[in-house]
Structure 1
Amino acid sequence: MADLPPDPAALIADLRLLVEIESPSTDPVGVAHVMDVVERWARDLGALCHALPGGTRQFDFGVDGTRPPLLILTHADTVWPHGTLEKMPFRVEGERVSGPGTYDMKGGIVGAFHALRALGGDWPRGGVRLLLTPDEETGSSSSRAAIEAAARHARAVLVVEPPVADSHALKVGRKGVGDFTLRFQGVASHAGNKPEEGASAVTEAARAVLAVQALARPELGTTVSVGRIAGGGAVNVIPAECVLDVDVRVSTLAESGRVTRGIQALETADPRVRLTVTGGLNRPPFERGPETQRLFAQAQALARELGFELTGEVVGGGSDGNFTAPLAPTLDGLGAPGDGAHAAHEHIRLDRWPDHVRLLTRLLREA
């Protein structure tokens, strides 16, 4: 079958339909509206549609049990709050298609469905299963179980998050992501009259900032950042409360364990200040296993046949591919090329997008 490029006008029309439905993760109605549109597309292709616990929807195309299906991962939510379209309207300017959620990842959803349509109902043996989740941008707490269950029964996972910004680079590895909260409870007192009776939560938190960030090992891909501090009250009071929020990124599970143990072992210098640590790793690292490397090599060869060079990078941000990589060969970044995830300049490159849709079509046929 010829690898005909998708119609750019049809890509743009479908993308506009999704982008102009604002669907922040915090709005289940908006997210469900996007899902309803996508479900109509799936039913038009003859899919069997299932609503799963936690709000995820599953669409099966030719899944027949003859072999494990291919799994496509998508998400309907965005980081953008209601009202963003007024400031960042959907627009097409030359080869640039802009608007909230275009790049991350409504373009990926549209590209996946154009690839499925290109198969013309000639599903690969075992079929294709597509999951559309409601909460990827907030950590996938309600959808993780469905994602992992589907991955355990898949022969490969294709994640249509966008490729590396402004490139043809897929994401062949991702760091694991952790969030920790450190709460310090001290003793308040008057800073002028009886400072010795106070136990400063802010002072202990300041010590902890340096101790926590000292756990970083950049040479191993481990970063630790205290991104937010909140504490104290009136300036003339020894502060009794302080909270630190910590972001952790790790390339391996071993590093995750080391950093987690280090944070949990923290102690205060002043015994009157109580420290409570909560949180942990919410996405495991996406490590490059041999099966994933073989899948990437296949994608590279197919891209070369289609006339472009595909590269692969390991990135610091997490996705639902972090959950599937330990369970099945996983390729991430198969969505729409562009730039500006979570930023005001979010956009898709229309001159590159059709090539990636053709690549995904070939992978669905041949992976």
Structure 2
Amino acid sequence: MTVNSTASNQPKIDAEEILEGIRRWVEIESPSHDAAAVNRMVDQVESEMKAIGAKLERVPGRDGWGDILTARTPWGGDGPGILVLSHLDTVHPIGTLKDILPFKKDEDKVFGPGIYDMKGGAYLAYYAYRHLVRTAKETPLPITFMFVPEEEVGSPTSQKMIEQMALKNKYVLVTEPARDGGKIVTSRKGVLRFEMQCEGRPAHAGAQHQDGRSAIKEMAKQILRLEELTNYETGVTCNVGLITGGTGINVVPQHCSIEIDMRVPTPELAEEMTATVLGFTAFDPDVKVTVSGGINRPPYVKDEGIAKLFDHAKDLAAEIGFELQDVKITGGGSDGNFTAAVGVPTLDGLGVDGRGAHTDYEQMYYSSLEPRAKLMLRLFETLQ
């Protein structure tokens, strides 16, 4: 990969224009579990992509999730090119914009639900493509934009399509937010998800306590065993995030269930931890323990292809006027885990800089809009 033109040849990037576009997208609230809301966001992106001549394909959602939208540049034919991967869903419920996190600019900070993760980044990629169209430029490679509806819950319906699309392309650019002051992501931990269920024996908590076998008591022991799998030296973390159980305060509980999230840095540890958790058995032989689950997102490991792609992006950033660094490994998963795992060079974290993803103070930095949009544009112009 070589830099084949100079920063002076770039079309003008207008931060105010970008901000207004991001505002349009942010003000269409789109929580993952509300397919109709997500599809309103898909409608907006589809309309804007259609207006600049993209070739569109919209795959209807299934299993209660929203639609998947792809948009391809009219140039470049059907050959392998650049896949730009974005998600349009957020974690924020409808009403967050009105009651908790209204769109607001305060000096360099711009607030709004999903503005950082990741409508800001998704819009930057669209904006860079629009600038190419405005200046009648074509890129050496065709560009395919893929917008998924349920990344925040693990991409259950889009994973297969993401992997298939990645394998048809030479590079993947993911518009997840930047980290730690503008760093991009070249490796991520894998995500493992499990559900554990305990079934005991119900009994009256006063009159016949001795006849009961408590599912909650058994689960408490299992939780302690799970939490002990966390090892900061190896990079493994285990979190029991949800628990339900019992029927009444005066009943020895028959049922208890938990949901477990694990993060692992390598494929080897992913296999080891999966086997460990799936192999858990009951402490009390009178209680039945069932464990299901496994790898939700494979580890995203920085290999030679990713390193080369990062070095290219770093050269482009220097040309634009800033130093680009990468996060060596981050615990958060993304759809970039899927594309890196199938062997396609992937750069992640190319979206806006900011902080507070998934919080009531989520924000992006206005100052990041121009340089990040320029970097995306230059990647489009120079990748071959």
Alignment TM class, shorter chain as reference: over 0.9
The separation in 1 between residues aligned to 2:106 and 2:227, in whole angstroms, is 43
In structure 1, what is the equivalent of residue 277 of structure 2?
Answer: 263
Length, aligned pairs only: 366
Deviates more, 1:306-315 or 1:186-195: 186-195
Change in 2 beyond 3 A, CA 1:260/1:63: farther
Name which of 151, 158, 177 aligns with 2:166: 151
Name which of 187, 193, 203 aligns with 1:179: 193
In structure 2, what is the equivalent of residue 246 of structure 1?
Answer: 260
The separation in 2 between residues aligned to 1:61 and 1:163, in whole angstroms, is 25
In structure 1, what is the equivalent of residue 29 of structure 2?
Answer: 22
Q: Post-superposition shift, 1:158?
A: 0.3
CA contact (8 A) 1:224 1:249 kept: yes
One-letter identity of the residue aligned with 1:94: E
In structure 2, what is the equivalent of residue 80 of structure 1?
Answer: 92
The separation in 2 between residues aligned to 1:47 and 1:331, in whole angstroms, is 23
The separation in 2 between residues aligned to 1:198 and 1:323, in whole angstroms, is 45
Q: Post-superposition shift, 1:63?
A: 4.8
Name which of 236, 255, 280 aligns with 1:222: 236
One-letter identity of the residue aligned with 2:261: D
Deviations 1:200-259 (A, max 9, x none): 112211111122222233222111112233223433332221112211101111111111
Deviates more, 1:90-99 or 1:354-363: 90-99
CA contact (8 A) 2:216 2:255 kept: yes
Deviations 1:54-83 (A, max 9, x none): 421110103534741101011111111111
Name which of 53, 56, 68 aligns with 1:49: 56
Change in 2 beyond 3 A, CA 1:143/1:354: same
Alpha-carbon RMSD = 1.6
Q: TM-score, normalised by structure 1?
A: 0.95
In structure 1, what is the equivalent of residue 177 of structure 2?
Answer: 162
In structure 2, what is the equivalent of residue 106 of structure 1?
Answer: 119
Deviates more, 1:289-298 or 1:37-46: 37-46
One-letter identity of the residue aligned with 1:329: P
Name which of 314, 318, 323 aligns with 1:309: 323
* SS of equivalent residue, structure 2 residue 9: coil
Q: Post-superposition shift, 1:4?
A: 4.8
CA contact (8 A) 2:32 2:89 kept: yes
In structure 2, what is the equivalent of residue 341 of structure 1?
Answer: 357
Equivalences for residues 55-74 of structure 1 within 5 A: 55-65=67-77, 67-74=79-86
The separation in 2 between residues aligned to 1:340 and 1:82, in whole angstroms, is 18
Q: Post-superposition shift, 1:85?
A: 1.1
In structure 1, what is the equivalent of residue 108 of structure 2?
Answer: 95
Equivalences for residues 283-362 of structure 1 within 5 A: 283-313=297-327, 314-327=329-342, 328-362=344-378
